[in-house]
A and B are shown apart, each in its own frame.
Chain A
Amino acid sequence: MKREPSITTDSELHPSAAPFWRDPEKRAIVFQVVALLLVGLVSYYLFSNTQANLQRQSIATGFGFLDKEAGFEIGESLVQYSAADSYARALLVGALNTVKVSFIGIVFTIILGTFIGIARLSSNWLLAKLAGGYIELMQNIPVLLQLFFWYGIFYESFPAPRQALNPFVGLFLCNRGLIFAVPESHAAHGAMGWAFVAALALGWGLNRWGRQRQARTGQMFPAVRVTIGLIVLLPLLVWLCFGAPTAMDMPVLSGFNFQGGVTVSPEFSALLLGLVFYTAAFVAEIVRAGIQSVGRGQVEAAMSVGLRPGQVLHLVILPQALRVIIPPLTNQMLSLTKNSSLAIAIGFADFVAVTNTTINQTGQAIEGVALIMIVYLFFSLSTSMFMNWYNKKTALVER
């Protein structure tokens, strides 16, 4: 913009610039700098003070311990681990165990929670009351007690390995956990995995194409059913091509315990059950609230144009309900992840449990607690980042 020649001069319009403490903008900057300095000073004081105190008590500091040999065994691990490995490796095992129980827990929680939430709104009186009772019961018992309860069931009620329950071939249930047969490793399995991925990709493409076609012609394409068919058939086909290998790795009782097969430990099962049943009660309420947030009129309108109940749920209710459901659902996923640290009470080797042992053996509590904070922050932030992305996708696009 070109400046107009004016009669009033600059100094008249802005009479001698006010001193900076009168200028709210400058004042704000000063305040912020002062606040920042204070925070910095306090942090520096705390840091140097602790450093000095640790030094005075000659407690070792730093993260050098991570390379040292851990010297303790861990009950279950997703990666190779032995007592001869380093602390860093032990911590990795713990972190992966936390991820394992959280991920599986979240998946089951969402499935169970959705079912219970829908059941709560069912017109079937008994089903609705049962779901309501479940929610009231589970929400009001502390999750730690529930963990002890499930763990107790495992070790108190199930028999010793030699008397293991054997409901059908290849599956054993005892106080050492759930042990079941798995197919012996074979080249076919890798290929079947790829076939599965291919089926998923194909299904996604079909779904997209089907929707475009529906938009163009109005004809519907049963994409879901075709995708499910693909997911089952493609890997099956690959399996047959490899000559249908059926060799199984059967669990066999030898010595103290079962050898072979896959064992799901009581600690893991109890933790998973406790977390899933507890969190699912909250998720159910969230799902119920989400569904009820969709106007009654919409459902009636959808039914009056002739949609089937399944279609009403799938095409009208859920897309709108998800907007309401996802933000609080994210909170529940985060709380499940954080609650998984209660594992320590029932002996599941999650990240906190392994870090605690590490702290105890190396004496480096501050470093250990810092690691716990970083790892949980990372888990929480990445979960909420993913959910925020998904939330944006499903959010109502306002015009």
Chain B
Amino acid sequence: MKFSRLTVLVTVLSLLAAGVAFAGKDLDAVRSKGFIQAGVNGGVFGFGMPDEKGVWKGLDVDTARAIAAAVFGDANKVKYTPLTAQQRFTALQSGEIDVLTRNATRTLSRDTQLGLNFVQVNYYDGQGFLVPKKLGIKSAKELGGATVCVLPGTTTEQNAADYFRTNNMKWTPVVIENTTELAKTFFAGRCDVLTSDASQLAGTRAVAPNPKDYTILPEIISKEPLAPAVRHGDDQWRDIVDFSVLAMINAEELGITSQNVDEMLKSTDPMVQRFLGVVEGNGKALGLDEKWAYNIVKQVGNYGEVFERNVGVNTTLGIERGLNALWTKGGLMYSPPFK
């Protein structure tokens, strides 16, 4: 039996080997290509989706742009690969993409068994339920017997299984791989409930035929720290991705925005000087240009700006900062010192 298993493996491997075998150091590969290949969602409004002109927009897209600004000094040097939940990790493992900024939840098994490294969380989320108002449901505890639309291969799918099991409720899952197709199925009434991360539910509701007909139930049944991920094997690349996210948070802490960043260059605050590369050191440590953080803030903005622009209260999603506020304002966004 051992032999036949081996032969089959060998056959499969021949298909994969080319991609895996020759991947060099990720940062070198990115530099020689001249752009970053980022895996994004492609179907979640506010996080990763092209607008009507075909320009990619969203919190995750801006995260990828921040990394490009840090590496190349130009936030536009990103190419996007839209990935389904099922393709995303394989695409990263196989080297098809350099970084995954696709609302992926960091979990222990993903961080270890999948050979990935998650970096700083760029959105603290939790799983919720979206239901049509006409069902008259007030709590997730009333969902026994419901048909539930869910994306396959997500933590969401497992959380839902756990939740219904713990509460002794029966349910029928309808799993469709494509986010847009899944939402369409839900709006047409194939399922009673759509379950996903609360942010995604808000995004889905925003594109509903009639958003006012749907409501998000109060229960949040899980922790979903959404973070960019890179594959194992290149610690320098990992650090750059990590600190690109942190730079946006740190900029907000320091009160630096895309508007005032040029004035801030003249600041006498040593923290600001170090951050913007007026006092050199950080760039060299990361192997980047000393202007890397300046470029991020100038071209993409600080975390607060990015949040408000894509998902904040003034957008169609209308999401409050909540857990995603700075630690100084009761949230979880906290950056280590930039020194």
Q: Which residue numbers of A lie inside 8 Å of B, CB to CB?
A: 42-43, 46-47, 49-50, 53-54, 56-60, 63, 71-75, 82-84, 154-156, 160, 175-176, 254-257, 259, 266-267, 344-347, 349, 353, 356-357, 359-363, 365-367, 369-370, 373-374
Contacts and interface: CB of A to CB of B under 8 A. Distances in A.
Interface in B97-126: 109-110, 112-115
A71 B174 contact: no
Contacts of A84: 165
B114 A59 contact: yes
Contact of A73 (B173, B181, B233): B173
**Chain A contact residues, majority secondary structure:** helix
B137 to A, nearest CB: 9
Contacts of B273: none
8 contacts: A49-B13, A72-B173, A155-B185, A357-B175, A359-B86, A361-B153, A365-B90, A373-B11
A353 B189 CA distance: 22
B13 A366 contact: yes
A82 B144 CA distance: 16
B17 A60 contact: no
Given A57-B233, A75-B173, A366-B9, A175 B190 contact: yes
Please give me the 8 A-B residue pairs with the lowest Cβ-Cβ distance, nearest first: A360-B153, A363-B114, A83-B161, A59-B115, A57-B115, A155-B190, A347-B176, A155-B188
B158 A71 contact: yes
B21 A49 contact: yes
Contacts of A50: 13, 16-17, 20-21
B239 interface: no
Nearest to B157: A72
Interface in B158-185: 158, 160-162, 164-165, 171-178, 181, 185
Nearest to B90: A365
B13 A74 contact: no
Interface residues of B, number: 57
B175 A353 contact: yes
Given A59-B93, A155-B189, A72 B161 contact: yes
Given A47-B13, A373-B8, A53 B21 contact: yes
B318 interface: no
Contact of B175 (A75, A365, A370): A75
Contact of B177 (A82, A155, A344, A359): A344
Given A50-B17, A60-B113, A363 B93 contact: yes
B246 interface: no
B55 interface: no
Contacts of A160: 189
A360 B17 contact: no
A83 B165 contact: yes
B161 A71 contact: yes
Contacts of A365: 16, 90, 93
B192 interface: yes
A257 B145 contact: yes
B266 interface: no
A46 B17 contact: yes
A366 B86 CA distance: 14
Contacts of B17: 46, 49-50
